[in-house]
């Protein structure tokens, strides 16, 4: 993917696009993949970088959602479990099976959660992962060496999926591009336009890098802007009623010693009645999440102090080595774009199903759902968009579509495994220039070649793009990411032909964002 080529494609087209997608998160990029594979002329516009919004800030689980089963939403769980299986089939380089243990501290917890998790396993049918089972206290301690042993009676093991959210997103964008879609980051939609029939038939967008504006036409405009859905709807209808209830979820990242081994912990009932996880991820421990209703969405949400305290307190109940603020390597928050139901202020109780809404202006908005169900959401959305835009009937083909990077045995690429079939090309860069093998920081596995690759092939435009979303440095260890920034700026400047002043500005901007990922001890 090259941004200049994408810009040229966007400029050259004089015909209306079949579908314009606003928003480059999981939902929008999923819609672009689906639309392009059906042969529709597709343009996707993202105001910042792909995944800048919620889609880089998930718990990194490809899951059915044990909690939704508890809420009785069996259809959502079944749909998500099926999508979990399809995603592992289509992107095995990024999605893997992860064992979870629910530790039991009361006699009834084992049988109670054991039955629930057996149902969870049965609902996945032919898309199942491993079988769930009850295990002894000794087995629980063996698999979770740092679990709190006081009062432990045993545990329940079950299996779910894990992934890297932005690596999948970038690979999905590449898949859409390979199928003929045009996708642009740093392309902000600033206005919607209507035809004589008062129906939306185009957008004006700004190339954020140059300030240039363009007006383009489309048969259908899809609003996939997650937490920003209502703002975009109001570009067409200033009186549109609110359909999104934004809710923030935060995570903290600790080092591996808090969760040695390869098994995650699932806490089915925190003191506020939620589910919480401690998960091994990229050699670190990810703990989360929370559910805090918000009045307004922002592009760079920051975890609240009380969310951090709550996660530390909950983790301390289940871990023998108890984490403190000083142990937090990074903290990040994301905003759930939940579909609003009446006046309910308890966002944990709001449905995680997706919603497709067509305004009287003809603008089609899709919101809610989960990362796990992005494919099914996209299928639903493009079916509706095709009817709305009177596009030729074409069947969805994404159930069996390999996602860019597909590789059945990517583990053999070691630290580059997450690039899947792209890993040999990164190794080739190193073979041609050995300085690109240099590590960017001793605390993280990233090397200089990844910066060059991201700039040349993955449309990375800034230091933040590289450290937050092409690699996951900022999410894993914010201080290490700050140390890496000047070197990344220098490498990127060489690729993008930028000067020293640009590098200084980039590092400054990155440090500002990174401050929001740091916790004062
Ligand atoms: C804390 C948390 C944990 C989660 N964990 C999981 C999990 O483990 N597994 C799972 O399956 N799901 C999980 N989810 C849900 C999942 O992350 C979301 O459902 C999904 O990422 C939403 O994607 P989206 O594309 O709808 O929104 P976003 O990713 O927010 O994308 C919307 C995009 O629209 C862009 N945009 C806005 N306005 C404009 C404009 N005017 N012009 C152009 N672009 C614009 C934004 O910049 C943004 O990038 C989690 C969510 C949260 C908050």
pLDDT tens, N- to C-terminus, the chain (521 residues) = 999 999 999 999 999 999 999 999 999 999 999 999 999 999 999 999 999 999 999 999 999 888 787 777 888 889 999 999 999 999 999 999 999 999 999 888 888 888 888 888 888 888 888 888 999 999 999 999 999 999 999 999 999 999 999 999 999 999 999 999 999 999 999 999 999 999 999 999 999 999 999 999 999 999 999 999 999 999 999 999 999 999 999 999 999 999 998 999 999 888 888 889 999 999 999 999 999 999 899 999 999 999 999 999 999 999 999 999 999 999 999 999 888 754 444 445 455 588 899 999 999 999 999 999 999 999 999 999 999 999 999 999 999 999 999 999 999 999 999 999 999 999 999 999 999 999 999 999 999 999 999 999 999 999 999 999 999 999 999 999 999 999 999 999 999 999 999 999 999 999 999 999 999 87
Question: Which distant-in-sequence residues (6+ apart) come within 8 Å of 44 by Cβ?
Answer: 20, 21, 22, 23, 24, 28, 29, 31, 32, 173, 176, 181, 182, 183, 184
Cα 54 to averaged position of ligand 1 atoms, centre (Å): 3
Question: Given phi > 0 = left and psi -120 to 50 = alpha, else beta, which region is 83?
Answer: alpha
Quick one: CA torsion of 464, 470, 476, 478, rounded to 10 degrees? Answer: -10
Cα 59 to averaged position of ligand 1 atoms, centre (Å): 12
236 by DSSP, 3-state: which? helix
Ligand 1 atom at shortest distance from the alpha carbon of 235: 41
Cα 110 to averaged position of ligand 1 atoms, centre (Å): 35
Does ligand 1 lie within 6 Å of residue 224's CB atom?
Answer: yes
Does ligand 1 lie within 6 Å of residue 22's CB atom?
Answer: yes
Does ligand 1 lie within 6 Å of residue 301's CB atom?
Answer: no
Does ligand 1 lie within 6 Å of residue 469's CB atom?
Answer: no
Cα 371 to averaged position of ligand 1 atoms, centre (Å): 8
- Ligand 1 pocket test, pick from 87, 252, 287, 371 with the greatest ligand atom count within 8 Å of Cβ, gives 371
- Give strand pairing partners of 160: 98
Cβ atoms of 456 and 466 closer than 8 Å = no
Ligand 1 atom at shortest distance from the alpha carbon of 289: 1
- Ligand 1 pocket test, pick from 225, 334, 335, 374 with the greatest ligand atom count within 8 Å of Cβ, gives 225
Cβ atoms of 32 and 183 closer than 8 Å = yes
- Judge residue 432's burial from the number of C-beta atoms within 10 Å of its C-beta, 0-12 exposed, 13-18 middle, 19 or more buried: exposed
Does ligand 1 lie within 6 Å of residue 61's CB atom?
Answer: yes
Ligand 1 atom at shortest distance from the alpha carbon of 225: 34
Q: What is the three-state SS of 6-66? A: HHHHHHHCCCCEEEEEECCCHHHHHHHHHHHHCCCCEEEECCCCCCCCHHHCCCCEECCCH
**pTM of the predicted protein model:** 0.96
Cβ atoms of 415 and 392 closer than 8 Å = no
Q: Which phi and psi (to 5°) does residue 247 adopt?
A: -140, 130
Structure tokens at 499: 């000067």
As a whole number of angstroms, the distance between CA 430 and CA 424 comes to: 10
Does ligand 1 lie within 6 Å of residue 354's CB atom?
Answer: no
Cα 246 to averaged position of ligand 1 atoms, centre (Å): 11
Quick one: CA torsion of 372, 373, 375, 378, rounded to 10 degrees? Answer: -140
pLDDT given for residue 333 in this prediction: 97
As a whole number of angstroms, the distance between CA 406 and CA 418 comes to: 10
As a whole number of angstroms, the distance between CA 422 and CA 429 comes to: 11
């Amino acid at each position: 993917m090259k941004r200049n080529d994408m810009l040229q494609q966007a400029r050259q087209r004089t015909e209306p696009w079949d579908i314009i997608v606003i928003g480059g998160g999981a939902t929008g990029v999923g819609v672009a993949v689906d639309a392009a594979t059906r042969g529709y002329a597709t343009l996707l516009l993202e105001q910042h970088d792909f995944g800048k919004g919620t889609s880089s800030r998930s718990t990194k689980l490809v899951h059915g959602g044990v909690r939704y089963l508890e809420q009785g939403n069996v259809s959502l769980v079944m749909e998500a479990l099926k999508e979990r299986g399809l995603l592992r089939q289509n992107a095995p380089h990024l999605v893997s099976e992860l064992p979870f243990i629910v530790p039991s501290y009361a006699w009834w917890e084992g049988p109670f959660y054991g039955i629930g998790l057996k149902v969870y396993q049965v609902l996945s049918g032919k898309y199942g992962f491993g079988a769930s089972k009850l295990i002894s206290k000794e087995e629980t301690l063996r698999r979770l060496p740092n679990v709190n042993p006081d009062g432990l009676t045993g545990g329940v093991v079950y299996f779910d999926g894990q992934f890297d959210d932005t690596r999948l997103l970038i690979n999905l964008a590449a898949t859409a591009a390979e199928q003929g879609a045009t996708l642009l980051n740093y392309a902000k939609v600033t206005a919607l336009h209507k035809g004589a029939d008062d129906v939306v038939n185009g957008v004006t967008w700004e190339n954020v890098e140059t300030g240039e504006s363009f007006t383009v036409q489309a048969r259908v405009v899809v609003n996939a802007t997650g937490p920003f859905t209502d703002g975009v709807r109001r570009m067409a209808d200033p009186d549109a009623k609110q359909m999104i209830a934004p809710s923030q979820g935060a995570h903290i990242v600790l080092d591996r010693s808090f969760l040695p081994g390869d098994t995650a912990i699932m806490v089915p009932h925190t003191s506020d009645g939620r589910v919480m996880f401690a998960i091994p991820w990229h050699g670190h421990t990810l703990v989360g999440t929370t559910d805090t209703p918000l009045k307004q969405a922002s592009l760079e949400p920051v975890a609240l102090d009380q969310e951090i305290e709550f996660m530390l307190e909950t983790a301390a109940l289940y871990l023998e080595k108890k984490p403190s603020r000083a142990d937090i390597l990074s903290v990040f928050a994301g905003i759930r774009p939940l579909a609003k139901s009446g006046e309910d202020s308890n966002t944990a109780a709001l449905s995680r199903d997706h919603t497709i809404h067509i305004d009287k202006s003809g603008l089609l908005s899709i919101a809610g759902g989960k990362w796990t169900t992005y494919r099914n959401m996209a299928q639903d959305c493009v079916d509706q968009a095709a009817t709305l835009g009177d596009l030729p009937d074409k069947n969805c083909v994404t159930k069996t579509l390999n996602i860019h990077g597909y590789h059945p045995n990517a583990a053999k690429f070691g630290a580059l495994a997450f690039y899947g079939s792209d890993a040999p090309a990164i190794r080739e860069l190193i073979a041609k220039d050995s300085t690109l093998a240099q590590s960017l920081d001793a605390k993280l596995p990233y090397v200089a070649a990844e910066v060059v690759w991201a700039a040349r092939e993955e449309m990375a435009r800034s230091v933040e793009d590289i450290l937050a979303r092409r690699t996951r440095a900022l999410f894993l260890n914010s201080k290490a990411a700050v140390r890496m920034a000047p070197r990344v700026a220098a490498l990127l400047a060489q690729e993008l032909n930028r000067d020293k002043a640009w590098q200084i500005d980039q590092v400054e901007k990155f440090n500002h964002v990174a401050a929001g990922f740091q916790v004062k001890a």
